[in-house]
Amino acid sequence: MASQFQYILWFEECNKSALPLVGGKNANLGEMVNAGISVPPGFAVTSKAFEQYMDEATLWNQVRDTLSDVSADDIKAVSKAGSAIRQAILSTPIPNEIQREIIAAYTSLCEKCDVTDLPVAVRSSATAEDLQDASFAGQQDTYLWIWGNDEVVKATHECWASLFTDRAITYRMRVGFPQDGVLISVGIQKMVNSRSAGVMFTLDPVTGDRSKITIEASWGFGESIVQGMVSPDNFIIEKKSLSIKQSIIGQKDQQFVAKGCGTVVEPVPSEQQVIPCVSVAEVIEIAKMGMLIEKHYGAPQDIEWAIDRDLPFPENTFSTQSRPVTAAGKSDFKNGILKEKGQSDTDHIIDLMLKGFSK
């Protein structure tokens, strides 16, 4: 699947060592895929493609010239220079051979999902280590619900130009990072066509019990749960035996569905409202994915997941986002354990010890 010039790398081919080629976001997706964690399929347009493009069109000279006299403190000058560079990039077409590679990869992604003009998300993925941590790195452009060959190429092109937003330029100046060596990769990933979706904790968020997984699920996209619009189905799974210990089926009367360039709310047909929106096999698959993600990151996770309409089970069970769960267990500091104002820490501890003895 690897393309001839290494302009394209599928997520399966990405890992940490490919970071200079595919950037942090894509490398992370690759690491997840290689750890057996299912994410929406896609590929990276590598920094090599961008470099080839910049070299061929001698655009680096223009970057250097435009920014040579600009200081980071001069907001107006940065803005003017940034706009000029972005304009120069956008008016320089992407070489045919790179375009062909992107389109070929996109076509094969469409075929894989059995959807013509498959909607995808196109995101920039920064390759400079120091840029990845910068808070604005995530603000480099992301284009959702893009479909069709020309649109995908165009969104990629716009991501490239986003390397020279005013903020990015200023940041590089401040940290002394050269403007003319910086590279960017672009990730192109299937938009989830969500049949059912929800959230999962790889512990019991109430008791902090790490032997359990809890899953909430609803029809359509996950926003209905996140926004608290429905009472979702609720499952508790025991990790060790991978068996469902408890399932409560909720009333799911609304759902977000894909329409045009986004999602809209629609009512759920009445006969579907109170039946489970995921099968037992799907619940187990989601739980298994949760355990893999927890293992991958070494800490309990709060995961957004979705089941895709376009792919067969189990390939259709995706993690769309995960973050570590903060603090296991509830927090319940109530009277009797609270220190009163003016009392010393030591005296309070002694009081608590004495209370313990008199239990």
* Binding residues for other proteins (CB under 8 A): 206-208, 210-211, 240, 299, 326-334, 337-339, 341, 345-346, 348-350, 352-354, 356-359
φ and ψ at 141, to 5 degrees?
-65, 140
Q: Measured from the CB atom, is 250 or 300 closer to other proteins?
A: 300
- Cα distance between residue 9 and residue 45, in whole Å: 7
Q: Are 172 and 21 in contact (CB under 8 A)?
A: no
Q: Measured from the CB atom, is 17 or 358 closer to other proteins?
A: 358
- Cα distance between residue 259 and residue 280, in whole Å: 29
Least separation in angstroms between residue 296's CB and other proteins is 16
Q: Measured from the CB atom, is 270 or 346 closer to other proteins?
A: 346
Q: Measured from the CB atom, is 154 or 348 closer to other proteins?
A: 348
- Cα distance between residue 191 and residue 311, in whole Å: 12
- Where would I find the H helices in the chain? 19-34, 47-56, 59-67, 75-90, 96-113, 129-133, 149-161, 166-175, 223-226, 270-273, 280-297, 345-357
Least separation in angstroms between residue 294's CB and other proteins is 12
Dig out the tokens for 162 from the structure. Answer: 């986003």
Transcribe 325-353 into DSSP letters: PPSSS-----TTTSPPTT--HHHHHHHHH
For tokens 């929106």, the residue is 277
The β-bridge partners of 302 are 201, 323
Least separation in angstroms between residue 243's CB and other proteins is 11
- Cα distance between residue 161 and residue 158, in whole Å: 5
Least separation in angstroms between residue 172's CB and other proteins is 32
Q: Measured from the CB atom, is 100 or 348 closer to other proteins?
A: 348
Least separation in angstroms between residue 338's CB and other proteins is 6
Least separation in angstroms between residue 203's CB and other proteins is 10
Any residues with CB less than 8 A from the CB of 149 and at least 6 apart, and which?
A: 103, 106, 107
Contacts of 67-70 with CB under 8 Å at 24 or more apart are 67/169, 67/179, 70/169, 70/173
Least separation in angstroms between residue 334's CB and other proteins is 8
Least separation in angstroms between residue 358's CB and other proteins is 7
| Nearest-10 Cα torsion for 183, 189, 191, 194 | -130
Q: Measured from the CB atom, is 243 or 251 closer to other proteins?
A: 243
Q: Measured from the CB atom, is 112 or 210 closer to other proteins?
A: 210
Q: Measured from the CB atom, is 63 or 203 closer to other proteins?
A: 203
- Cα distance between residue 179 and residue 355, in whole Å: 65
